[in-house]
């Protein structure tokens, strides 16, 4: 008899899902309450040094989270491809990291689904995915 390491996920149904949404009428406004981004460099060694890559100031939470979701999606796709070319030990370690990326994207996407119009933000990002 083998032991099951991962428990079964909780059952979901449309009625349970809709009751969660109706319990939080303010959900559509949660992203609106977040502040805009500040300017931040991507150089962690010296954050005050000028760099080519930086977070632009004034981006709203909806757009920032949509971009993060796209970045995580690309990381998942690249990870799936890379994992095919690793040895079994590396594959196990890599799978753990990839699972973390997938869970991070699920959290971001869940936040976006609670926002005012995720279709509008993702459609805008699809036009210019990494500008």
Mean pLDDT throughout 10-15?
A: 55
* Residue partners of 32: CB distance under 8 A and separation at least 6: 61, 116
Whether the CB-CB separation of 44 and 51 falls below 8 Å is answered with no
Residue burial 40-49, b: 16+ Cβ < 10 Å; e: rest: eeeeeeeeee
pTM of the shown model: 0.59
- pLDDT score of 10: 63
- pLDDT score of 15: 45
- pLDDT score of 17: 44
Question: Which residue, 34, 88, 97, is CA-closest to 61?
Answer: 34
- pLDDT tens-digit map of 73-120: 999 999 888 888 888 888 888 888 899 999 999 999 988 887 555 454
Of residues 70 and 131, more confidently modeled = 70
Could you give the 3-state DSSP secondary structure of residue 130?
A: coil
Of residues 27 and 42, more confidently modeled = 42
Sole residue written with tokens 């962690």: 44
Judged against a pLDDT cut of 50, whether residue 43 lies above it is answered with yes
Concatenate the DSSP letters of all residues of 40-105 into one string: EES-SS-TTS--S-EEPTT--HHHHHHHHHHHHHHHHHHHHHHHTTS-HHHHHHHHHHHHHHHHHH
Span between the terminal Cα atoms of the chain, in Å: 53
């Amino acid at each position: 008899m083998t032991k099951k390491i991962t428990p079964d996920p909780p059952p979901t149904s449309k009625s349970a899902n809709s009751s969660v949404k109706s319990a939080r009428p303010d959900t559509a406004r949660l992203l609106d309450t977040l502040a805009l981004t500040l300017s931040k460099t991507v150089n962690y060694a010296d954050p005050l040094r000028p760099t080519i890559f930086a977070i632009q100031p004034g981006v709203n939470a909806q757009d920032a989270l949509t971009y993060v979701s796209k970045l995580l999606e690309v990381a998942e796709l690249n990870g799936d491809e890379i994992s095919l070319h690793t040895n079994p030990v590396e594959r196990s370690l890599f799978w753990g990291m990839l699972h973390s990326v997938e869970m991070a994207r699920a959290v971001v996407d869940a936040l976006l689904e609670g926002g005012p119009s995720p279709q509008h933000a993702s459609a805008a990002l699809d036009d210019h995915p990494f500008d």
